[in-house]
Amino acid sequence: MRATLVILLSLPAFAQSDKITRGKYIVEEVSRCQECHTPKLPDGQFDRSKWLKGAVLNVQPITPIKDWHKTSPDITRPGRLWQKWGERALLDYFTTGLTPKGTPAGPPMPTYKLKPEDAEAVVEYLKSLQ
Q: How confident is the model at residue 13 (pLDDT cuts 50, 70, 90)?
A: low
The string of pLDDT tens digits covering residues 16-60 is 459 999 999 999 999 999 999 999 999 999 999 999 999 999 889
Q: What is the value of pTM for the model shown?
A: 0.84
Which residue from 100, 42, 36 is spatially nearest to 69, judged by alpha carbons?
36
pLDDT above 90 for 14? no
Q: How far apart are the first and last CA of the chain?
A: 36
pLDDT computed for residue 31 by the predictor: 96
The pLDDT value given to residue 121: 97
What confidence score (pLDDT) does residue 15 get? 53
129 within 8 A of 123, measured Cβ to Cβ: no
Q: Specify the amino acid at residue 34.
A: Q
Query: Is residue 73 over pLDDT 60?
Result: yes
Q: What is the DSSP string of 72-87?
A: E---STTSHHHHHHHH
Higher per-residue pLDDT: 130 or 74 = 74
Q: Report residue 23: phi and psi, to 5°.
A: -60, -40
Residue 55: its H or E element = strand 55-56
